[in-house]
Amino acid sequence: MTESTVLCAGPGGFHRIAYADWGAPGNGTLLCVHGLTRNGRDFDRLAGALEDSFRVVCPDVAGRGRSDWLADPAGYANPLYVADMVTLLARLGAETVDWVGTSMGGIMGMLAAAMPGTPVRRLVLNDVGPFIPKAALARIGDYVGKDPHFDDVAGVEDYLRTVHASFGDLTDGDWRHMAEHGARRLDEGGYGLAYDPAIGNAFKGAPLPDVDLWAFWDAIQCPVLVLRGAESDLLPAETAGEMTRRGPKATLVEFEGCGHAPALMAPDQIAAVREWLTG
């Protein structure tokens, strides 16, 4: 695995996107895009299991991980995020791409796959769909954008275990990995979370309405695999079922013991993705 950056442009100027690059450049490209407050290193387990078959590229979306924070927080939105991924694909020389997206990363994948002339060949959506209930958004809004400080990485780990308990029964090593890559050193000492608190601005103010992206879903023509945590509040069972009946008519796999969102670190979750992509 190597770590690199690519220069991207947005309305507020230029910014750099960091990414982890696994596997041989000669293999087909698999882009793995993380959730709202997370980063590309969440996919280390998955990438390690797939690098024999793919060039697996795991970016940190703007404002997260090692990527730059935006000068204008209004840019933290899907149009810039998708444009940044297109810039990254151009850097990689990828004419086509398979896309794995968790939550926010899945929304980005849906939007990209629905566009005319899309390079997205296959799409894996991890616990997200074209309808997101406002109650789930309100739950996320309770923690996103907060800027807690911690004495050490162990404190970050304790926090993540609480706010992301719905990720499921992760091992101690998994939680530690998420904490190590989800923490940033503070100039004044101690640690904060590895994201710009301004990514939470969209959740402030008036309550958010339900998100309805069915028009985009119905425009997707590539094969789609949908992964769902059996206790997910963000991807209701009714929505997941409807995704198998309309638009690209997705294949659905559910995982017991977790909600939003499966961490894609457990062997059965990794196997489901690998078998669908390679089979």
Model confidence pLDDT, tens digit, residues 75-86 = 999 999 999 999
DSSP 8-state secondary structure symbol assigned to residue 190? S
Report if residue 20 sits inside a domain: yes
Report if residue 226 sits inside a domain: yes
Report if residue 268 sits inside a domain: yes
User: How far apart, in whole angstroms, are the C-alpha atoms of residue 48 and residue 56?
Assistant: 9
Report if residue 184 sits inside a domain: no
Q: What is the pTM of this model?
A: 0.97
User: How far apart, in whole angstroms, are the C-alpha atoms of residue 194 and residue 171?
Assistant: 21
User: How far apart, in whole angstroms, are the C-alpha atoms of residue 194 and residue 207?
Assistant: 26
- pLDDT tens digits for 39-63? 999 999 999 999 999 999 999 999 9
- Write the single-letter amino acid at 37: T
With a cut of 90, say whether residue 204 has pLDDT above it.
no
With a cut of 80, say whether residue 157 has pLDDT above it.
yes
Report if residue 202 sits inside a domain: no
Residue 228 φ/ψ, nearest 5 degrees? -140, 130
Report if residue 201 sits inside a domain: no
Give the CATH number for residue 246.
3.40.50.1820
Identify the band that residue 240 occupies on the pLDDT scale cut at 50, 70 and 90: very high
Report if residue 70 sits inside a domain: yes
With a cut of 80, say whether residue 219 has pLDDT above it.
yes
Confirm if 216 and 130 have CB atoms less than 8 A apart.
yes
Give the side-chain half-sphere CA count within 13 A for 76: 25
Structural domain count of the chain? 1
Report if residue 66 sits inside a domain: yes
User: How far apart, in whole angstroms, are the C-alpha atoms of residue 30 and residue 42?
Assistant: 15
What is the mean predicted confidence (pLDDT) over 35-40?
A: 98
- pLDDT tens digits for 84-136? 999 999 999 999 999 999 999 999 999 999 999 999 999 999 999 999 999 99
Confirm if 18 and 67 have CB atoms less than 8 A apart.
yes
Work out the percent of the chain whose per-residue pLDDT is above 90: 94
Work out the percent of the chain whose per-residue pLDDT is above 70: 100
Domain limits for position 226:
2-133+211-278
Q: What is the torsional sign of CA 244, 220, 96, 37?
A: negative
With a cut of 80, say whether residue 206 has pLDDT above it.
no
Identify the band that residue 279 occupies on the pLDDT scale cut at 50, 70 and 90: confident
- Write the single-letter amino acid at 233: D
DSSP 8-state secondary structure symbol assigned to residue 199? G
For residue 191, the cross-strand partners are 150, 185
Identify the band that residue 24 occupies on the pLDDT scale cut at 50, 70 and 90: confident
Counting every residue written for the chain, the total comes to 279
